[in-house]
Structure 1
Amino acid sequence: MKIVLATGNKGKIEEFKKLLPNEEIIPFKNLIGEYEVIEDGDTFKANAVKKAKEIYERIADENIIVISDDSGISVPILNNEPGIYSARYAGENADDKKNNAKLISKLKEKNIEKTKAFYTACIAIVFKNEVYTVHGWMHGEVVAKEIGDNGFGYDPMFIPNGFDKTLGELPHEIKKEFSHRSRALSLAKKVLDVIL
């Protein structure tokens, strides 16, 4: 069974391939070329469902499964920013460095070096016109600096509960044991086991 990922994020594609090593994972661009889904939902779930449904409809093959995820980091002391805007926190075409720099500056404005934060991942699965969603979370603290080169996004700023290193310092093998996406994917696998 082909699983089409409704994302162009290279970091997410690599992570899904590592988390689902026995599946044929295909980025949607390989099938339909460049296409942008406007993420205008007000929750991670709304955005994940919209991405999965739009890509599924464009591919128009009921024998494929489309999986999308919408995820991000929320910092309670900053009114849960960046939240659903995590990927574009510093602007529409911002890269990880710019997004991280904005979060660091927001923390420093409040003289915060470290504070509670959490990641959310919602995975949406579309198969035979049915939509399924699952969520996963990872709690910890965000620090007002980047430490480490592993991972992507806000990983160099996030220290998961039970650790004294950022995700940017921890190897992927450790991160995949408890990450928000891993937790959501383990639930998604259960959904796939039922529908296939």
Structure 2
Amino acid sequence: MKLCFATNNLHKLQEIKAILGDSFTLNTLKEIGCEEELPETTDTIEGNSRQKAEYVWEHFGTDCFADDSGLEVTALNGAPGVHSAYYGGSRDFQQNIARVLEELAPHTDRSARFKTVITLVIQGESYQFEGIVTGQLLKEQRGTQGFGYDPIFRPDGHERTFAEMTIEEKGKLSHRAKAFATLVDFLRSYKS
């Protein structure tokens, strides 16, 4: 089955190809001729995911899926949430991490969760899938793998941050992996 993964993020693409294996052929936005930045103007993770997938379907007529993810910090009332990618003022994750750690400094509760919502648009119908992983935010960065907030996020039940894990290890327990597992199960039953 051919699908477009509506992202320009090569890290996400690499993660998802590892999760999907050879079951599906993934096209990138570039491969379907989409050069523009996809809209992300809603105030929820669910809304942004849906907006991106529906944009690709409406403008390119291609079955596709899009995801949106965010880090939700308990002590910060769910921030940065939908604004995770630009929380420090740009897409620079060192700035984003610095802002989260600065705002979290006076708090003892360091619990947080990563949330991913995937919207699949197939033959014009939309479906959504969610994945959540809970954990703790460390006071300093550890590890060099992954991207985003991975160096400060230690998932519950583990001693290492996402950035200290291999892509395969992270791929087995991340929020994105959970959401994509549900998507893959749906696609396999949809195909048959």
Following the alignment from structure 1 to structure 2, what is the Cα–Cα distance between the partners of residues 154 and 148? 11
Instruction: Supply the RMSD in Å over aligned alpha carbons.
Output: 1.5
Verify the 8 A CA contact 2:75 2:107 in the aligned structure 1: no
- Moved segments of 4+, more than 6 Å: none
- Deviation per CA, 1:23-82: give whole Å up to 9, x if none: 211211222242122212222111101100101222124xxx201101111101011111
Match of 2:159 in 1: 164
SS of the counterpart of 1:168? helix
Query: How many pairs does the alignment contain?
Result: 190
SS of the counterpart of 1:181? helix
1:79 paired with 2:77, answer: yes
Structure 1 residue 111 displacement after superposition: 5.5
Structure 2 matches for 1:1-196, cutoff 5 A? 1-22=1-22, 23-61=24-62, 65-91=63-89, 93-108=90-105, 110=106, 115-196=110-191
Following the alignment from structure 1 to structure 2, what is the Cα–Cα distance between the partners of residues 29 and 56? 14
SS of the counterpart of 1:81? coil
Verify the 8 A CA contact 1:29 1:35 in the aligned structure 2: no
Following the alignment from structure 1 to structure 2, what is the Cα–Cα distance between the partners of residues 9 and 118? 21
Amino acid paired to 1:161: D
Verify the 8 A CA contact 1:156 1:169 in the aligned structure 2: yes
Following the alignment from structure 1 to structure 2, what is the Cα–Cα distance between the partners of residues 29 and 174? 29
Amino acid paired to 2:61: A
Structure 1 residue 144 displacement after superposition: 2.5
Structure 1 residue 85 displacement after superposition: 0.6
- Deviation per CA, 1:55-114: give whole Å up to 9, x if none: 1222124xxx201101111101011111011111112x4222221122122222x265x7
Following the alignment from structure 2 to structure 1, what is the Cα–Cα distance between the partners of residues 100 and 27? 32
Structure 1 residue 130 displacement after superposition: 0.2
TM-score of the superposed pair, with normalisation by structure 2? 0.93
Amino acid paired to 1:101: A
Following the alignment from structure 2 to structure 1, what is the Cα–Cα distance between the partners of residues 91 and 81? 15
Unpaired runs of 5+ in structure 1? none
Verify the 8 A CA contact 1:67 1:123 in the aligned structure 2: yes
Verify the 8 A CA contact 1:32 1:58 in the aligned structure 2: no
Unpaired runs of 5+ in structure 2? none
Following the alignment from structure 2 to structure 1, what is the Cα–Cα distance between the partners of residues 133 and 11? 18
Verify the 8 A CA contact 1:118 1:140 in the aligned structure 2: yes
Following the alignment from structure 2 to structure 1, what is the Cα–Cα distance between the partners of residues 107 and 134? 21
Following the alignment from structure 1 to structure 2, what is the Cα–Cα distance between the partners of residues 90 and 157? 15
Verify the 8 A CA contact 2:134 2:155 in the aligned structure 1: yes
